[in-house]
Chain A
């Protein structure tokens, strides 16, 4: 079976522009996570979806960041008015999301490398 996929793999944009990053989770996984990894750091949590709803968006740095998952599968992370500080690798992960068993493994995609000039 296919793993988590993310597109694009690289994105270069100018300061102030709008970008969308896409994540396609493992088929059947209901839990989906977005993380951001800056150079020399570990991944940092942004937002978590269980099904279509955002169960925890406490990691979003500000209101320029928004994510959706309208049909409970593919998710899009949207960044408005990009800033140079948004440059990072954006990672998506998914897990089964069975809920009753809280011992789940998150599987990561290859990431989207965003560069804001």
Chain B
């Protein structure tokens, strides 16, 4: 069965600090990879996704993630965080089999950005 591990439960950063959130998955086959964000009081929104091609993907609001197949990792990065990035971040994966497959999520990382 697939699983996703997010290493950090809660990260606290000052504004303008750099961010890296870890995500590792376990699955032997071909996968699609996603980062979703949940701002306070809002629903899950897609931040970025990886299907194939360039392993460095760019998403909204200056976020990017790098797929490293040999490490089964898909870490999220942002060079300089803002107070508005305070949110919960979820890494998710699904298998690219025939048909659609459900997402398997990590437990999430809560990011708090302080002034």
The interface bits of chain A over 95-110 (1 if a CB of B lies within 8 angstroms of the residue's CB, else 0) are: 1010100111111111
Whether A12 is near chain B, meaning CB under 8 Å from some CB there, is no
CB–CB A42/B43 < 8 A = no
Q: How many residues of A contact B (CB 8 A)?
A: 29
Structural contact, B102 and A33, CB atoms closer than 8 A: yes
Which of A50, A56, A104, A110 is close to B43, meaning CB atoms less than 8 Å apart?
A110
Using A105-B34, A105-B49 as known contacts, say yes or no to A48 and B100 having CB atoms under 8 A apart.
yes
Given known pairs A41-B107, A41-B108, A109-B43, the reply for A48 and B102 (CB within 8 Å) is yes
Asked whether A108 lies within 8 Å of B102 as measured between CB atoms, the reply is no
Count chain B CB atoms within 10 A of each CB in A33, A55, A104 and give the residue with the most.
A104
Contact, CB under 8 Å: B43 / A108: yes
Whether B18 is near chain A, meaning CB under 8 Å from some CB there, is no
Checking B36, B43, B46, B104 against A45 with a beta-carbon cut-off of 8 angstroms, the contacting residue is: B104
What number of residue pairs across chains A and B have CB atoms under 8 A from each other?
68
**Chain B interface category by residue count:** 20 to 34
Evaluate whether A99 and B105 lie within 8 angstroms (CB atoms) in the complex, with A105-B49, A108-B36, A108-B43 already known: no
Q: Distance (Å) between the CB of B9 and the closest chain A CB?
A: 8
Q: A106-B103, A108-B44 provided; 9 other pairs, C-beta below 8 A?
A: A31-B100, A35-B105, A45-B103, A50-B100, A97-B100, A102-B98, A103-B51, A103-B52, A108-B45
6 A-B pairs with C-beta separation under 8 A: A41-B108, A44-B105, A56-B102, A91-B43, A99-B100, A109-B43
